[in-house]
Structure 1
Amino acid sequence: MTVGAFSEWRKLPISLSELCINTTLRCGQSFRWHKLPENDEWRCVLYGRLLSLRQDPTYLYYRSYSAACTSAADEAEDTTLAIIKHYFNLTSNLTSLYAQWSSSDPNFRRKAPQFTGIRILRQDAWEALVSFICSSNNNIARISQMVEKLCVNYGAYVADIDGRAYHDFPSPKQLAGGGDVEARLRSLGFGYRAKYIHQTATIVAKQREDGWLNTLRNPEAPAFGAGTKAVPDADNEIPPEGRSGYREAHEKLLELQGVGPKVSDCVCLMGLGWGESVPVDTHVWQIAQRDYKFGKGGNKSLTKATYDAVGNHFRKLWGKEAGWAHSVLFTADLRTFSDRLVATSKKTKADVDVKVKEEKEVDGTKVTTTTTVKNLALKRTADEGEIKLEFDDEKDFTKTRRMSKRLRSR
């Protein structure tokens, strides 16, 4: 391997039905992947290593960047493959999971065929925590910009390629720092989130033991390099409120600054491996109202009670990977992917009769005939507004935290 160069492309056999990076990396899970505008190559720094991915219908192609000569290129690429398998959660058979969710839910069965290959990422728990604190009252594009600013200003430098600098995600200590971190983040456009990020980093770095976040993990989904995976429970049945380990992790995260129920559930699902965690924002609440008859009894707002009711309903419907199934439906409703839907409630059909005139010459005389085409279906697609990932502004967020604290104290 040459100095400061990517390794040769290697390939992993996998179908688009088992993994589609073009969907998985754009559906609001991770906010650090950079897609090169000139091709379909994706780049990101994971575990201090710059990875590059691309895909065709048969293979996932991968390579990593090295800034120094090494005679252990094969070993390095073996580690890269291990990172990819862990990060994309490739131990689960996605085709079987989709079949299971489809058998229990006609709505999922109707929408899922256009959204195969969506996987729940096994992200670093700290990165997931900070990223979803940034998601408060925000959209995917702006969250990505904020996360990039965190990496550039506080993360370790890894490489500069094609005019772009790549950095790792900053650690809790780097974001705790001195007293100027909050002010610096505000100047970078983080708003009220600056205080939450700095305070949470301070708690994790200085008031919790090393590796505290990973103690909240689902033991079936250990952190990368943490050793042998625990044997998973084959039973898909779980309590409607989720397993005790999930509930404990959820409550512990609520003790941090800037973490409400939705942010906690995002971290549980995408950072700690609790598959039954179901993050509910206003968008998911709209899905629950439209497709699952929530809010029919007069309670049309997203409260603590309705938040829990939606999560419990989906856990009963889909089992211990309910958060995964919910993410497929969330993605199906994003405007970014609306062109994939063949028929949803956003699309309507209008049956019309269309008259077609045809002129032809018969024995030197022009003859005009009119043919009526019956019931020609015309599609009209309704426009969508910008999708946000959080249901609260700063005022509602504070109110939600107070509500959560009162419930925990009972």
Structure 2
Amino acid sequence: MKLRDAPSARPALWRSLPCPAAELRLDLVLSSGQTFRWWESSPGAWTGVLGGHVWTLRQDRDRLWYTVYGEEEEDGHPAEATKLDGAETDRILRDYFQLDVGLAALYRAWGAADPLFRKVADDFPGVRVLRQDPVECLLSFICTSNNHISRITAMIERLCQAFGRRLCCLDARPFHAFPSLSALAGADAEARLRALGFGYRAKFVSGSARAVAEGLGAEGLHRLRAAPYAEARRVLCALPGVGAKVADCVCLMALDKAEAVPVDTHVWRIARERYGAALGGRSLTPRAHQEIGDFFRGLWGPRAGWAQAVLFCADLRKGQEMAGSRERAGGGRGRDSCVGGPP
């Protein structure tokens, strides 16, 4: 299996969905800190793990192309795995990218309400919010506080290799499923995570995995999708290492709370510098999170979290370009922008 296979080269292995660039830009969505399981395996092609399977995605002007790899064989026999038919893989991708939400119409509405959004959005079409597995989203975002994307991605990769089930190997690169709650709730999980370089986050990852496993369970976490935003946020904030920012990320990206606006240093700076919103005092307190979220909900409406994702992506890209310029000028190593701030 070669990641370089293009739709035209192996048509029998590929399927596609109608999806214009105005509705989805893979390069913006998969690299902007919403998820940490995808990498650009060849120009324009993104390979990663979704739903316990390995996928490669690419797009042209009006279609999203994809292929799903089977699990590797063990002792000459195919590994046990759920076989996905075309209808199921289509459904998984539509759900993951929330393709039933018309993004172009939302852009127009946000732009009409907000000239600053309209100015930025022209250069960043197709930025939409993913609908992720709640367990994976929760435990991944616990790792984001005071951190940056490349380091978070490497941490999540080590986490999956150490605790997750191996799925397959492509071009000598192994791929693993995200670990189960039970795997990360074990007695030795914190020590193993510390050995993997998680630092103080090791306690929070293993502690939250244990708290969910012994309390709500994975199914209970999924059921928060049907709960009011305030209730879901309250439940999440009771978990180890979960503050307002992480809770809002999980609410927005896994629990169907489109009104959730995750507030970190990026968003705080956007609110203060671009909108002149003197909100929340001098630090990111719970009150600041609430006031800034309310400000943007008032401006953008019930999908304020989606609009915020566009501005966050634009701000992130600007920071990455500035870091790249400094690296080229000074010969030093660049660092991609931080997605963290207080948990």
- TM bucket (normalised to shorter chain) is 0.7 to 0.9
| SS of residue matched to 1:79 | helix
Question: 1:216 aligned to 2:224?
Answer: yes
Give the corresponding residue for 1:265: 248
Cα–Cα, structure 1 residues 391 and 176, in superposed 2: closer, same or farther, change >3 Å?
A: same
Of Structure 1 and Structure 2, the greater strand share is in 1
How far apart are the structure 2 equivalents of 1:120 and 1:183? Answer: 34
- Counterpart of 2:66 (choices 62, 74, 78) is 62
Instruction: Tell me, in whole angstroms, the C-alpha distance in 1 between the residues paired with 2:70 and 2:335.
Output: 42
Q: Is the 8 A contact 2:263 2:293 kept in 1?
A: yes
Shift of 1:287: 0.4
Residues 330-369 of structure 1: matches in 2 within 5 Å? 330-335=312-317
Partner residue in 2 for 1:403: none
Output the aligned Cα RMSD: 2.5
Instruction: State the distance in 2 between where 1:174 and 1:84 align.
Output: 27
- Asked whether the 8 Å contact 1:40–1:54 carries over to 2, the reply is yes
TM score, norm. by length of structure 1: 0.73
- SS of 1:211 mapped into structure 2: helix
User: In 1, distance between residues paired with 2:188 and 2:94?
Assistant: 38
SS in 2 for 1:266: helix
Could you list the runs of 5+ residues in structure 1 that have no partner in the other structure? Answer: 220-244, 341-383, 398-410
Amino acid at match of 1:389: V
SS class of match (1:212):
helix
Cα pair 2:183 2:189 within 8 Å, conserved = no
**Is 1:12 equivalent to 2:20 in the alignment?**
no
Given candidates 201, 213, 216, the residue that maps to 1:205 is 213
Query: Any residues of structure 2 matched to 1:289-328 within 5 Å, and which?
Result: 289-295=272-278, 299-328=281-310
* Partner of residue 287 from structure 1, selected from 270, 291, 308: 270
Q: Is the 8 A contact 1:281 1:389 kept in 2?
A: yes
> In the TM superposition, what is the alpha-carbon distance from 1:157 to its structure 2 partner?
1.0
SS of match in other structure, 1:115: coil
Aligned to 1:255: 238
Provide the C-alpha distance between the structure 1 equivalents of 2:283 and 2:191, rounded to a whole number of angstroms: 35
SS in structure 2 opposite 1:333? Answer: helix
Residues 150 and 336, structure 2, Cα contact 8 Å, conserved in 1: no
After superposition, the Cα gap between the structure-2 partners of 1:74 and 1:249, relative to the gap in structure 1 and judged at 3 Å, is closer
**Matches of 1:339 and 1:299, distance apart in 2:** 30
1:354 alignment partner in structure 2: none
Amino acid at match of 1:387: S
Residue 74 (structure 2) pairs with residue 91 (structure 1): no
Shift of 1:339: 6.1
Q: Deviations over 1:209-264 (max 9, x none)?
A: 45110111147xxxxxxxxxxxxxxxxxxxxxxxxx00000000011000000000
- The 3 A distance-change label for structure 1 pair 74 and 252 is closer
Residue 42 of structure 1 aligns with which residue? Answer: 46
Q: Distance in 1 between matches of 2:19 and 2:317?
A: 27
Going from structure 1 to structure 2, the CA distance change for 1:51 and 1:385 (only over 3 Å counts) comes to closer
Offset of residue 76 of structure 1: 1.6
Q: Please list the CA deviations of residues 304-328 of structure 1 after superposition, one character each: whole Å capped at 9, or x if unmatched.
A: 2222111001111111110000010
Asked if the contact 2:320–2:337 (Cα under 8 Å) also holds between the matched residues in 1, the reply is no
Q: Give the Å deviation of 1:336.
A: 5.7
CA displacement 1:134-164 (0-9 Å, x = unmatched): 0011011111111111111111111111101
Instruction: Give the match's secondary structure for 1:45.
Output: strand
Query: Distance between the aligned counterparts of 2:321 and 2:162, measured in 1?
Result: 36
The amino acid of 2:37's aligned partner reads R
CA contact (8 A) 1:125 1:213 kept: yes
Q: Secondary structure at the match of 1:16?
A: coil
* TM-score, normalised with respect to structure 2: 0.86
Aligned residues: 317
In 1, Cα distance between equivalents of 2:277 and 2:340: 19
CA-CA distance at 1:169 after TM superposition? 0.6
Does structure 2 conserve the Cα–Cα contact (< 8 Å) formed by 1:154 and 1:175? yes
1:108–1:261 CA distance, 2 compared to 1 (3 A):
same
Report if aligned partners of 2:132, 2:254 keep a CA contact under 8 Å in 1: yes
Runs of 4+ more than 4 Å apart? 336-340
Question: 1:110 aligned to 2:85?
Answer: no
Are positions 1:387 and 2:333 aligned together? no
> 2:35 matched to which residue of 1?
30
Quote the residue 1:150 is aligned against.
159
SS at match of 2:21: coil
Separation (CA, whole Å) in 2 of partners of 1:389 and 1:29: 9
For residues 194 and 338 of structure 1, the distance between their equivalents in structure 2, rounded to whole angstroms, comes to 28
Deviation of residue 208 (structure 1)? 2.7
Distance 2:113 2:282 in 1: 25
Measure, in 2, the Cα distance between the counterparts of 1:269 and 1:117: 17
Structure 2 unaligned blocks of 5 or more: 323-333
Structure (1 or 2) with the greater helix fraction: 2
